[in-house]
Amino acid sequence: MAGAVGFASAVAGQAAELPNTAAQAAELPNTAAQAAELPNTAAQAAEMPTTAAQATELPKTATPAAKAAAESGPRLELEGDGASLPAAATSSAGLGAPNDNGERKAMYERTSLLNNLTTKLLSVHNKTTLGGYGEVEFVKAAGQDSYFNHHRYVLFFYSQIHPRISTATELEFEFGGSPTKRDGVQTTGEALLEFAVVDFKAADWLNFRAGIVLVPFGAYNLRHDSPTQDLTDRPLPLTTITPSTWFETGAGVFGKLELGDQTLSYEAYAINGLDAKITEAQGMKGAVGGKGEDNNGDKALVGRVAWAPSLKLELAASGYSGEYDDQQRRVRMLGLDATARFGRVEFQGEFVQAWIDPGYVQGFSASSPANTRAPVPTDMRGWYVQSNIHFTLGWLWSLLPPDLSDAVCTGVLRYEQTDPSLSARNRFDVDKLTVGINFRPVEGYVWKNEVQLVSNGAGGLDRRLWSGGWEFEPKYVTSLAFLF
């Protein structure tokens, strides 16, 4: 608990200085008037540091203690941690010797070959903050056995190396990490770096970044963290056509411009890009590029530009272009997204269209097991729209203890459609209607419940909601998501 408090207070003091990153959701801010109308909503949760990339979105107010902490970088505060590194001593100039600058001395202690591991770790401990989130689910689909799923446990780390230089890392464990069981067989889970970057701030409008980046295609990929979302499952088009969570190794720039009451923000990177494992069954998910290799010399370009003309609206466009094999065949993608707020009601949605040059599913080498030589789909399309309404129940709230008086419920309605091959209608063409309700006793903890009505185009039939022949399979999902 003390570690989490130290994280919030320390980073808050630097929020005005640090570069903006993935969470442009915070660019749709809550004013004092909105806070009175819309207490503790999921959208407000987006302003909390739910990932390392979003730590800089904290409010720009800070206690005197936080401001003092900002002068020496964020600190990880633990119980009983009252000691600090000794003040820098004045030293005569010498090869590699620190001068009387405390910050220089701290860096010297972290990098000197003459210091042991304990000394180096103490210096890192003094500069690094820790946070994270988790999600546990229970699922029951028609005709299937129910099950619990420890879907995600995420740790993120943030360190301010210099007022202009910072590093952030997100380490994710999915399905209990490794090992895990699948179909009753012990196998591997997932433990991976989802985000690991170093940033250099030249100005608010120009920041340089390199490392494993969240690909800036669409809003959801940048704001996917479970505690900030009002439904458990992510939109289908953004897990197949856009393979959320989509992260790649690359480098580029990001920033924002304040234009009076308007804000213009952007991110643009060169990355390894998608490879040739593009299928109808998985969309682009199987084609996410390697973190340390590429199957061609062309680097993909991807970017997103967002415009917030007011405090209640954000409109954005995204683009992607890159070769997916060594025959100069390309994937081109266009994305549009929008978020709007009107008091207690919110609307959000995304659209994605992909055009793929004709080619084949293949791996990086002639002997690769991925060489199925199946034709890749040449065009994909998907979209979703969602509305949220936040409310309280007087009779229930009267039973809550005083320290939970800011609790809020949210009703959610989402419709989504994904078509991974426009030239054919089959079981991979999925439509889903989701109705949900969640309860947030505090911002960092949410209990979600949702019923999903899922239909597909098996047999080439049109079973969509408006088709007149709507058929669906029900599925119930409940989950707990928490932030720390």
Sign of CA dihedral 427, 428, 429, 432: positive
Q: What are phi and psi of 62, to 5 degrees?
A: -155, 150
- The CB density around residue 111, as the number of other CB atoms within 10 Å, is 11
Number of H helices, E strands in the chain: 8, 18
Predicted local confidence at residue 411, as pLDDT = 98
Determine how β-strand 165-174 pairs with β-strand 180-182.
unpaired
CA 49 to each of CA 53, 153, 192, 383, 443: distance values in angstroms, whole numbers, following the listed order: 8, 15, 20, 28, 12
* Total residues found in the chain within this entry: 484
Sign of CA dihedral 215, 217, 223, 225: negative
Sign of CA dihedral 119, 70, 21, 1: positive
User: What CATH class does 2-84+126-483 carry?
Assistant: mainly beta
Reply yes or no on whether the pLDDT at 379 is more than 90.
yes
Q: Where are the domains of the chain?
A: 2-84+126-483
Predicted local confidence at residue 174, as pLDDT = 85
Reply yes or no on whether the pLDDT at 454 is more than 90.
yes
Predicted local confidence at residue 297, as pLDDT = 84
- Burial label for 158, CB within 10 Å (0-12, 13-18, 19+), is buried
- Burial label for 464, CB within 10 Å (0-12, 13-18, 19+), is buried
Reply yes or no on whether the pLDDT at 393 is more than 70.
yes
Predicted local confidence at residue 189, as pLDDT = 67
Q: What is the chain's alpha carbon radius of gyration, rounded to the nearest angstrom? A: 24
Q: Using CA atoms, how far apart are residues 397 and 388, in angstroms rounded to an integer?
A: 20
Place of tokens 């062309």: 298
Q: Using CA atoms, how far apart are residues 349 and 387, in angstroms rounded to an integer?
A: 9
Q: Using CA atoms, how far apart are residues 231 and 298, in angstroms rounded to an integer?
A: 37
pLDDT tens for residues 341-371? 999 999 999 999 999 999 988 876 766 777 7
Q: Using CA atoms, how far apart are residues 408 and 12, in angstroms rounded to an integer?
A: 25
Reply yes or no on whether the pLDDT at 41 is more than 50.
no
